[in-house]
């Protein structure tokens, strides 16, 4: 569990990274628009080029949620619309946050499935997904009317994943299929045998968790696009209009004629 096992320090590193990227990501997203746009395009191009190179080199079709999210996020950034930005920000946020949280709580699970280089590489990529989701959220103001894109995409994605699995002879167990069939609990409790009650609880919980992530992305967007406080606006107006009164130190100021 958390901070245990031979690779416990990766959980600590990930916890520090998570705090840093939340603070830095929200700061850049809200107050550095030029830097935000540069980082968005740079990360999108880097994701797209690297993942296409991996597909060609390994002769593999991407089917995990995160693997597809790299392409979706890159496409949304390079071909932007308000509706797809909500979807892209959501995919980056859920893929990045779930991975980072699992790395904090159960780092040994990741190292039991892959080598050190692969885990570190995945850790970096997922942190970048989470970071870019903040930047994407700051680019467009989301509307609740665009929420329907998310369940549509999830349904299409799972249909795609099942199609790829059946036609490309993918036999290894992946997190995507464990989430879909509810066996993901066996990662933490290998001897657990699920029953009907478990599956009812699991899918209700999964839908609730999904709704929670959608709400979180929308709230982050609202925070990044909230109007300036009244005092700041007043300070701006005071510099434009000469009312003969200083609003900040309550002293009368004679207009300069």
- Give the span between the Cα atoms of 212 and 215, in whole angstroms: 5
**Closest by Cα among 91, 55, 61, 98 to 73:** 91
Indicate whether 232 pLDDT > 60.
Answer: no
Count Cβ neighbours within 10 Å for each residue of 209-226 and write b for 16 or more, e otherwise: eeeebbeebbebbeebee
Segments making up each domain of the chain, as ranges: 8-226
Task: Tell me the per-residue pLDDT of 104-135, one tens digit each, with 9 for 90 and over.
Answer: 988 888 888 888 888 999 999 999 999 999 99
- pLDDT at position 169, please? 61
Query: What is this structure's pTM?
Result: 0.80
Indicate whether 27 pLDDT > 60.
Answer: yes
Task: Tell me the per-residue pLDDT of 137-181, one tens digit each, with 9 for 90 and over.
Answer: 988 888 888 888 899 999 999 888 888 877 766 655 567 778 888
Greatest Cα pair distance, the chain, in angstroms, is 85
Among the residues of 32-115, which ranges form H helices? 33-58, 65-78, 82-105, 107-113
- Give the span between the Cα atoms of 84 and 89, in whole angstroms: 8
């Amino acid at each position: 569990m958390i901070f245990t096992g031979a690779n416990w320090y990766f959980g600590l590193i990930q916890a520090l990274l998570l705090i840093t990227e939340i603070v830095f990501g929200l700061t850049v997203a809200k107050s550095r628009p030029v830097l935000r746009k540069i980082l968005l395009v740079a990360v999108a191009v880097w994701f797209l080029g690297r993942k296409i190179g991996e597909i060609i080199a390994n002769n593999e079709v991407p089917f995990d949620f995160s693997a597809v999210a790299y392409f979706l996020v890159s496409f949304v950034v390079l071909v932007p619309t308000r509706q797809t930005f909500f979807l892209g920000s959501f995919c980056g946020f859920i893929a990045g946050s779930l991975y980072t949280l699992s790395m904090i709580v159960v780092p040994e699970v990741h190292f039991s499935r892959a080598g050190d280089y692969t885990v570190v590489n995945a850790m970096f990529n997922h942190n970048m997904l989470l970071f870019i989701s903040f930047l994407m959220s700051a680019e467009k103001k989301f509307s609740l009317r665009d929420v329907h894109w998310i369940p549509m995409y999830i349904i299409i994605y799972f249909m795609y994943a099942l199609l790829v699995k059946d036609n490309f002879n993918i036999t290894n167990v992946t997190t995507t299929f464990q989430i879909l069939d509810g066996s993901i609990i066996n990662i933490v409790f290998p001897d657990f045998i699920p029953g009907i009650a478990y599956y009812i609880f699991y899918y209700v919980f999964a839908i609730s968790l999904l709704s929670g992530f959608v709400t979180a992305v929308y709230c982050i967007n609202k925070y990044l696009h909230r109007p300036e406080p009244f005092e700041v606006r007043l300070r701006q107006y005071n510099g434009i209009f000469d009312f003969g009164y200083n609003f900040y130190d309550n002293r009368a100021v004679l207009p300069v004629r």
